[in-house]
Amino acid sequence: MITLFGDENVTHLASTTYIDQGAKWNDIVDGNGTADANGTVDSDTPGIYQITYNYTDHAGNAAQTVYRSVQVVDNQDNNGNGYGYSDSNGFPLDTTDSGTGGDTGVGDSNGFTLNTTDSGTGGDIGYGDSNGFTLDTTDSGTGGDTGVDDSNVFSLDTTEPVVVAQKPLVNTSNTMLEEDGSIQLTGDVYFDGGGSVDDFGFVLSSTISLDKSKSKVIWVRAVGIPEEFTLKVTQSPFPNVMYFRAWARNSAGYGIGQVKKVRIPEAPKPWWGNAIEETGGWKTSDWFGTFIYYEKGWLYHTQLGWLYSSDTNTEGVWLWKEKLGWLWTKEGIWPYLYKNDTSSWIYYTTNRNDKPLFYDYLTEQYLFFEDSSVDQAE
């Protein structure tokens, strides 16, 4: 994804140097960097110019091209020989001329706007004062006057310009899937827009669109600071894929970062596989039978009685049974169980007097439970 620094459409005053703010690319694998810019702006010639930004990652995938339109405009003069100059900091001058004389407006050294309104026919020149405030050099006569300072001749307007904030620029960083299945999102504000960022977070959506008629959209606040904030999504509100964008807010409004997505891994199946939920919390596994599962691994099996379960990192399950110790089995192996203390196999056959009966391949004998002991069956 390619993200512009600054606005998509820019108006620039002619005869001043144009400096493009550029653009940034973000790639899930390659990371991020500065996008390649193509196109030029002739700041001396009014017109509309276009700059394109591109990037191709190391795998050869090209990002969608992003464009910026730059309109170079000239100062306007009504009837006379009026010339408008921008100051050294690039602020436009108000050089309104309603007469026929020649007037020149020059910005002050600190970049504030000079008002050189002339309603007569004479030639007047206005200069900013040494402190950078706007000088009002209104002349209603026909003679030629020069306004240089506020030496009891001209009135001094000491109003400083209001700084207008822009929306903040936000970066959506890569995500991280935690071992517990949660999703860690990270974002940052890389330009505050000239205003104080007072809120930030992430917007989550079921599709790439933020149109609520096409997608389910959720706005969530994050924790941290504007330079780095995070959100832990313990469980995705959407199946399969979740789209997300970082956002931040200042007095100018909301800035939203580039969109990214994370594929939601399928939740691992429990060791008992597919099971039908019965009344009272009972489960019927398609291979392990009927049981009720309690907290921390304990379960009661209708044929084996009380068991403690500990699933493995790969396949199968270890079951601890009093008098028998640890037994291992899995789908496709059951009703065979591997007996850990003897390194041998036993086989569950049936129940006798409501007690499980096993065949022990090591001793070639049947084992059954009677009260608190395990006996060999005749």
SS3 295: helix
Q: Is the pLDDT of residue 349 over 90?
A: yes
Instruction: Determine the Cα angle at 142 with ends 136 and 147, to 5°.
Output: 30
DSSP one-letter code for 297: G
Q: Is the pLDDT of residue 44 over 90?
A: no
Please check whether residue 44 is in contact with residue 15, taking contact to mean a CB–CB distance below 8 angstroms: yes
Are 2-73 and 170-263 equal in CATH topology?
A: yes
Please check whether residue 108 is in contact with residue 127, taking contact to mean a CB–CB distance below 8 angstroms: yes
Q: Kindly report, residue by residue over 353-376, the tens digit of the pLDDT.
A: 888 999 999 999 998 765 445 556
Beta strand 104-105 pairing with 125-126: parallel
Q: Kindly report, residue by residue over 54-78, the tens digit of the pLDDT.
A: 999 888 888 889 999 888 887 654 4
- Looking at the chain, the whole-number percentage of residues with pLDDT higher than 90 is 43
What is the spatial distance between Cα 20 and Cα 39, in angstroms, rounded to a whole number?
A: 11
**Structure tokens belonging to residue 184:** 């860690």
The mean pLDDT of the chain is 79
Q: Which has more confidence, 354 or 293?
A: 293
Domain 170-263 CATH class label: mainly beta
Instruction: Determine the Cα angle at 240 with ends 309 and 316, to 5°.
Output: 20
Please check whether residue 107 is in contact with residue 87, taking contact to mean a CB–CB distance below 8 angstroms: yes
Question: Cβ atoms within 10 A of the Cβ of 349, count?
Answer: 15
Instruction: Determine the Cα angle at 222 with ends 179 and 263, to 5°.
Output: 40
Q: Kindly report, residue by residue over 73-118, the tens digit of the pLDDT.
A: 876 544 333 333 344 444 343 444 444 444 444 444 444 444 444 4
* Domain ranges across the chain: 2-73, 170-263, 275-377
Q: Is the pLDDT of residue 219 over 50?
A: yes
Matching residue, tokens 């597919």:
274
For residue 108, what pLDDT is reported? Answer: 46
pTM over 0.75: no
For residue 109, what pLDDT is reported? Answer: 45
Q: Is the pLDDT of residue 176 over 60?
A: yes
What is the spatial distance between Cα 98 and Cα 20, in angstroms, rounded to a whole number?
A: 35
Q: Is the pLDDT of residue 172 over 90?
A: yes
CATH number at 2-73: 2.60.40.10
SS3 296: helix
Q: Kindly report, residue by residue over 312-332, the tens digit of the pLDDT.
A: 656 789 999 998 999 999 999
Instruction: Determine the Cα angle at 244 with ends 243 and 245, to 5°.
Output: 140
DSSP string over 239-285: SSEEEEEEEEEETTEEEE---EEEEPPPPPPPTT-SEEEPGGGEEEE
Backbone conformation region of residue 58, classed left if phi is above 0, alpha if psi is from -120 to 50, else beta: alpha
